[in-house]
Structure 1
Amino acid sequence: MSWTSVLDVAGGISLLLGAFMCLAGAIGLVRFPDTLSRLHAATKPQTLGLILVLLGLALTIRTWGAVTTLVLVGATQFFTSPVTAHLVGRSAYRHGNVRKDLLVVDELSEALARHDAQDNTPDSSP
């Protein structure tokens, strides 16, 4: 068995695992009850699934131009997905689209209460 055959098999396995992770994330988007749970399903398995798919493509294609492009796509997804989920989660929380009975620890409500109390204090400046 040559090394190209081994890389092709590894690429195929990586593609299948990545597709499975993306499918699991999509099922989680449909099945989970609230925004924060859906965000978890949208970011964690989807990002890992995309990284595995890109790895499988890189192992299968094996040209520098394609691998460079795939690395850039993976890095962009890896760095932007958590930030986007964080901002969407905070926005959903502020607009009341979060089921608070499912939260184990609610640190954001304390921070927002402190912020609101600070905004409501009168200024002592002349």
Structure 2
Amino acid sequence: MIEVIESFIDGGGVRAWIALGLLLVGSLLSLGAGVGIVRFPDPLVRLHAMSKPQVLGLAFALAAIVVAVWTWTAFFVVLPIMVFQLFLVPVSTHMIARAGLRSNDYRH
């Protein structure tokens, strides 16, 4: 595994470092979203941790893939993933908020 990473960084040049930086930022945002989901007390407060950093973390990870591969095919494969994520995350957070309100699982 380490040999693959070393060959990727040595052979890729600047694009590899940019992709590595984007992937690191995306993984930190996704980790923050996971910690927020576990730490926050009720579903209504968890909505920010579920939606905003998770979508931004995915956007950075997908940008890292596009920068690392650097082809139009990669871009057109990644684009629908991001579009569907941007359309479906508000729907899922709305459903979670509705379920939390209906079950009275929130703080006043």
TM-score (norm 2): 0.83
Q: Which runs of 5+ in 2 are unaligned?
A: 1-11
Q: Which runs of 5+ in 1 are unaligned?
A: 101-126
Q: Which residue of 2 aligns with 1:94?
A: 102
Measure how far apart 1:11 and its partner are.
1.1
Q: Which residue of 1 aligns with 2:72?
A: 64
| Structure 1 ranges of 4+ moved more than 4 A | none
Q: Which residue of 2 aligns with 1:54?
A: 62
Percent identity, aligned pairs only, is 35
Measure how far apart 1:6 and its partner are.
2.3
CA offsets 1:45-102 (integer angstroms, 9 cap, x no match): 10000000000111001122221111111111112101210122022112211112xx
User: How many pairs align?
Assistant: 97
Q: Which residue of 1 aligns with 2:21?
A: 13
User: Which of these two proteins has the greater Rg computed from alpha carbons?
Assistant: 1
1:28 aligned residue (28, 36, 55):
36
Report the aligned-residue RMSD. 1.2
TM-score (norm 1): 0.72
